[in-house]
Amino acid sequence: MSISEGSSASSGLVAATEATMGSVREAAVAARAAGPTLAELPSARRGALLRDLATALVDPEIRAGLLRANQEDLDRAAREQLAEVKRARLRLSEAKLDGLADGLRQLADAPELLGKATLRRELDEGLVLERVPCPLGTLGIVFEARPDAVPQIAGLAIKSGNALLLKGGSEALSSNRALVALIRRILAEHGVPAGALALLERREDFSALLAMDELVDLIVARGSTPFVHRVMASTEIPVMGHAEGLCHITLHPPCDPAMAARIVVDAKCSYPAACNTVETLLWHPEAGEALDACVAALREAGVELRGCPKTQARAPGISAATDEDWDTEYGAKILAIRQIGGLGGPGGALAHIAAHGSRHTEAILCGDPSVTERFVARVDAAAVFVNASTRFADGYRFGLGAEVGISTGKLHARGPVGVEGLLTYRWILRGEGQISGDYGPGKRAYRHRDLAIDPA
C-alpha cells in the first residue's frame, strides 16, 4: 500500500528543531512509562477495554462526532483537489466504523498470547525453563492518510501490551485527532495512562522520533518503497516496512472462465486503492477463454485495460501496455495484462513476478493441483492464494482482528502483522539454588524434558 502523494510521510523526512525534539521526547518517555501498565493488564480487563472501544465506535453520538471530524478532512481534500483514489482512503463511513468495531471485538475474543508460555522444559528436577511472549515495548508507526488505521493499530497495541506513537498523513489530521482522543479516554477509564498512545502531527515530529533509539523499540513504516528505505537509512531503530502491493493473478489451464471473471473483478474493483488489489493479470495461451471472460467482466465494471501485443491481438480495443505498466501500483481501476508462456522459464509467470512483483500477494487460478502446488512452492510472496481473490490478504479477513501493516520482508513477521508480530519473548528459568558448574560431562546430566503447557 503506497502513501498518497503529498501526504506527510511520502513528502520525505524533515529535520527536527530542538523544541520539537523536546516535545517528542516527552511523549516517548510518557509512552515508555505507560507501557508496563498496559502490558500487565489481566486478560479479562484487556478484553473489556477493547470491547468498550468497539462499543464507542458504534455509539450514535460518538460516531457522529467522528464523522464530523472526518468531513472536515474530506472538505479540505476537496478544496485541495486531492485525487479520488486518495479521498477513498481518507473517507470514514458507517460501514468502515462497523468493520472496525467488529475487528476490535475479534481481538477481544482472541486467545491471550501475552504472558502465556509457548514452551516449558525441565532442565533438571526443580529447574524449569519457560519461553514466554512479551511486548516489543514502544512502537512508532507512520502510515498514510487512512484514519481507519488508527483504531486498528491501537487495538493491536492494546492486545499485545505495546505503547504507541502514531504519525498519520496530514490530510487525515482532524479524523486522527478525534480517534486518538477517544482511545486515550477509554485507556484512562481502564486505569491505563493516556500517554500509552500519542499522536505525532508534524513531519518533523516523526523525524525526531527516529533519533530516539533508547526509547522506541520498533518503527513500522507504511508507504512507498523509497520512503521506507529513507526511514531505514535515517534511524538505528529496527524498521518493519510496509511498502507497495503490486499483486498479480495468473490464469493457468485448466481455468474456469466464470470463476476467473468473478475473482478478478473482485480483486480489482472491490477497493482499487487497497494494497491487496490486483494490478497485473498474467495468462497462459491455453487459458484464453478465461481471459476473454475476465476482459468482458472488467470492461463492464469500467476498468481501463492495458495489454501486451498478444493480449491486444486476443482482445482488440485494449490499450498498449508500456514497460512502466508492469511496475506500477495503480491504486485505481486500471489493470495491466500480459501473456506468459507457462509457470517456469524466462517468459513464465514466476519470472515476471520475480522481476516486477513486491512480494505482497500472488494468486493463481487453475484446476490442476500439480500446477497450483508448484506455484505455491516457488513463488516468492508473503501471501499466496489458489483460486481466491488477492483481496483476502488482510488482517481482519485472516481473523487477526486487524493489522499494523502487511510486511513484505522475511524477518520477524511476514504478511498481515497482527498481535503475534508485535510480540517477542523472554526465557524465564525458575530453580531451587542450582548452579551451572554442577552440570556437564562427568557431572550431573540435564533432563531436557518438555512439560505440558497450562492451557489457562
Q: Residue 382 and residue 405: Cα distance in Å, rounded?
A: 12
pLDDT by residue (tens digit) across 203-225? 899 999 999 999 999 999 887 77
CA-closest candidate to residue 300, choices 262, 328, 329, 272? 262
Once rounded to an integer, what is the mean pLDDT over residues 9-28?
A: 78
Q: In angstroms, what CA-CA distances link 426 with 129, 268, 433?
A: 10, 43, 21
C-alpha cell at 388: 481466491
Residue carrying the nine cell digits 481473490: 389
Is residue 30 over pLDDT 90?
yes
**Residue 12 confidence (pLDDT) above 70:** no
Q: What is the pLDDT of residues 40-98, one digit of tens each?
A: 999 999 999 999 999 999 999 999 999 999 999 999 999 999 888 788 889 999 999 99
Q: Is the pLDDT of residue 4 over 60?
A: no
Q: Are 337 and 308 within 8 A, CB to CB?
A: yes
pLDDT at 226 over 90: no
pLDDT at 70: 97
Report the candidate in 291, 271, 292 with the shortest Cα–Cα distance to residue 282: 291
Closest CA to 239 of 259, 209, 265: 209
Task: Answer yes or no: are the C-beta atoms of 363 and 250 closer than 8 Å.
Answer: yes
What is the CATH code of the structural domain delimited by 18-242? Answer: 3.40.605.10
SS (H, E, C) the chain: CCCCCCCCCCCCCCCCCHHHHHHHHHHHHHHHHHHHHHHCCCHHHHHHHHHHHHHHHHCHHHHHHHHHHHHHHHHHHHHCCCCHHHHHHHCCCHHHHHHHHHHHHHHHHCCCCCCCCCEEEEEECCEEEEEEEEECCEEEEECCCCCCHHHHHHHHHHHHCCEEEEECCHHHHHHHHHHHHHHHHHHHHCCCCHHHEEEECCHHHHHHHCCCCCCCCEEEEECCHHHHHHHHHCCCCCEEEECCCCEEEEECCCCCHHHHHHHHHHHHHCCCCCCCCEEEEEECHHHHHHHHHHHHHHHHCCCEEEECHHHHHHCCCCEECCHHHHHCCCCCCEEEEEECCCCCCCCCHHHHHHHHCCCCEEEEECCCHHHHHHHHHHCCCCEEEECCCHHHCCCCCCCCCCCCCEECCCCCCCEECCCHHHEEEEEEEECCCCCHHHECCCCECCCCEECCCCCC
Task: Give the pLDDT band (50/70/90) at residue 26.
Answer: very high
For residue 14, pLDDT over 90 is answered with no
Report the alpha-carbon distance of residue 262 to residue 386 in Å, rounded.
14
> pLDDT tens, 398-441?
887 778 878 777 777 888 888 989 999 999 999 999 999 999 99
pLDDT tens digits, 277-300: 999 999 999 999 999 999 999 999
CA distance 179 to 66: 7
C-alpha cell at 316: 482488440
Average predicted confidence (pLDDT) for the chain: 91
Instruction: State the pLDDT at residue 243.
Output: 66
Neighbours of 39 (CB within 10 A): 19
Percent of the chain with pLDDT over 70: 97
- Over 70: is that where the pLDDT of 8 sits? no
pLDDT band at 456 (very low <50, low <70, confident <90, very high): low
pLDDT digits (tens, 9 = 90+) for 250-271: 999 999 999 999 999 999 999 8
Contacts of 440 by beta carbon, 8 Å cutoff, 6+ apart: none
Segment 354-360 mean pLDDT: 92
**How does pLDDT run across 148-204, given as a tens digit for each residue?**
999 999 999 999 999 999 999 899 999 999 999 999 999 999 999 999 999 999 989
Q: What is the pLDDT of residue 5?
A: 29
CA dist list (Å): 440 to 342, 444, 447: 57, 6, 12
pLDDT of residue 2: 26
Query: What pLDDT score does 404 carry?
Result: 83
Distance, CA of 63 to CA of 374 (rounded, Å): 48
For 163, list phi and psi in degrees, rounded to 5.
-75, 160
CATH tag for 247-392 (out of 3.40.309.10, 3.40.980.20, 3.40.50.11540, 3.40.50.300): 3.40.309.10
Question: Grid coordinates representing 380?
Answer: 516468492
- Contacts of residue 123, defined as CB under 8 A and 6 or more positions apart, other chains included, come to 129, 429, 446, 447, 448
- The interaxial angle of helices 149-160 and 43-58, nearest 10 deg, is 170
Q: What is the pTM of this model?
A: 0.80
Show me where the domains of the chain are located. Answer: 18-242, 247-392
